[in-house]
Structure 1
């Protein structure tokens, strides 16, 4: 995949790997930016009838990001760990225990979308946001109909999903006051026997500029 800025310029290459061991799936999604920045997220989840998060580790660093992130969560223990580097280069590690919901979906929301029907009813899931040591939010996922796109000379259709962050409470108030309310994310999913995420338009980690990440060789028009 490639990631483009809002002006259409390619600013990052996207790499995805997946390893399956029994019921455990480990995915790694990495954005490598032309300016040397990196967004690297590794997620392990189980798929035993329902999807359950095992662990997630998300790193953002480099000039593209206003504030670096090194945030990890272990679902079984409810431990959220934040790593920061002070001005002297010393790494500081802070861990916090958080009561996590069973539907926590850090790092694998795209997987959920590959496993729902195009006419599914809107549903919610939990996300542990990497702010203030880890704060729980809800996301509302809603299908938005179909949209045609071009690939390899063919016209295909993808189901479009909208992911709306529901901050609520004091976190929502602070985000609004600071102008940090995350924008909705749009995801295009090719349905069929081998469903695939074809395009994602949104912020990385809920902050910063909006990017359009899509498979090379696809065209979605305006």
Structure 2
């Protein structure tokens, strides 16, 4: 069996792990239009991609797009629309990963209102195959905007879960356990700002964890630095893109850690 097939098997096992329901996160900081830039680096500190983040608002709907362009030509492009009305609720999400950086390309979208998840794949001849299916999705599905949720929880919040739809087998529900890990000062454009460091932990059952570990594909925790204050912001994300592969540090341009 090829490694790509083993990867799919492991991710499918992870996606089939039962998930407890997550709780909706109340809106504490209303999101506004913005435009920011990120830079992604390898564990060795080498720049591997440049990122651009944009956010537009129409009524209570927010549309955000995060695009990474890699030096090797790969693309990671995710567009998410959600509502911020009392609590956060996903409208739609579309995530594309392609190029040599990614072991398995992804083109996956979900329409939360209809429950339709769509996967687009190309065969060895380049022919596009589109597969859609209907799913019963939870109201608190957080594909594409987990970072926004972190902007709206207290820095000393109790651990909570976020429901996600993984792009495996046409779409499988999973859960993430999110908790504050520590506090750290960061420097943003010459100004020292306190940040809360959140840990995002994929919850795997015993058998699932064992399978992933044996295949060397156990997903690692993701760490997120959120700047505190009246207008909190995600400053740094350290983790695997897509839940597998090498660890990448994605930083808001102008951010560095205080010594």
TM-score (norm 2): 0.81
* Equivalent of residue 134 in structure 2, options 90, 97, 101: 97
1:123 aligns to what?
Answer: 160
Following the alignment from structure 1 to structure 2, what is the Cα–Cα distance between the partners of residues 217 and 23? 30
Following the alignment from structure 1 to structure 2, what is the Cα–Cα distance between the partners of residues 121 and 129? 25
TM-score (norm 1): 0.94
Following the alignment from structure 2 to structure 1, what is the Cα–Cα distance between the partners of residues 211 and 171? 15
2:72 aligns to what?
Answer: 35
Following the alignment from structure 2 to structure 1, what is the Cα–Cα distance between the partners of residues 104 and 206? 23
> CA-to-partner distance for each residue in 1:48-91, whole Å, 9 max, x for gaps?
10101111000000010011000011111211111000011100
Q: Confirm or deny: 8 A CA contact 1:137 1:167 kept in the other structure.
A: no
Aligned-residue offset at 1:172? 5.2
Aligned-residue offset at 1:170? 7.4
Aligned-residue offset at 1:153? 2.9
Distance 1:32 1:166, change over 3 A: same
Aligned-residue offset at 1:180? 2.3
Q: Does 1:139 align with 2:176?
A: yes
1:1-222 to 2 correspondences below 5 Å: 1-168=38-205, 174-220=211-257
Say which SS state the counterpart of residue 182 (structure 1) adopts: coil
Following the alignment from structure 2 to structure 1, what is the Cα–Cα distance between the partners of residues 138 and 216? 27
Aligned-residue offset at 1:137? 0.6
Say which SS state the counterpart of residue 175 (structure 1) adopts: helix
Q: Confirm or deny: 8 A CA contact 2:185 2:258 kept in the other structure.
A: no
Say which SS state the counterpart of residue 246 (structure 2) adopts: strand
Following the alignment from structure 1 to structure 2, what is the Cα–Cα distance between the partners of residues 217 and 186? 19
Number of equivalences: 222
Q: Confirm or deny: 8 A CA contact 1:118 1:145 kept in the other structure.
A: no
Per residue, is there more strand in 1 or in 2?
1
